[in-house]
Amino acid sequence: MKLLFDQNLSPKLADRLADCFPDSAHVQQFGMDRAPDGAVLEFAKERGFALVGKDSDFFDTSLVRGNTCKIVWIRRGNCSTADIKAMLRRHVADIHNLDASEVLFLLMLY
């Protein structure tokens, strides 16, 4: 599973988690750091990414538009990139299970 990190997360996460999530990227790499949420969701879906973000925007948009792609929603306030990296590493199996699921599209991490 490859992850697409939203603009509110560090671009360094893609490299720092490459051993768990190869071919992951940050929206900035595609010039989408200021793109509307709907466009980012469609981009992720078309290219087989699960979207990782910290705010409710992607979840809210996906409810209105229908299931667009898999979403990993980090529900933690201010925290460091190292904290987010550690959280995603702790939940590698959960994230891969999300990818394999035919019915689930959202994983919330606290």
Q: What is the pLDDT of residue 63?
A: 86
| pLDDT(64) > 90 | no
| pLDDT(93) > 80 | yes
DSSP-derived pairing of the beta strands 49-53 and 25-26: unpaired
Closest CA to 3 of 57, 59, 44: 44
- In the chain, % helix, strand, coil (3-state, to 5) comes to 45, 15, 40
Show the 3-state SS of 62-102.
Answer: HHHHCCCCCEEEECCCCCCHHHHHHHHHHCHHHHHHHHHCC
| pLDDT(65) > 90 | no
For residues 38-42, give the mean pLDDT: 94
| pLDDT(52) > 90 | yes
For residues 33-58, give the mean pLDDT: 95
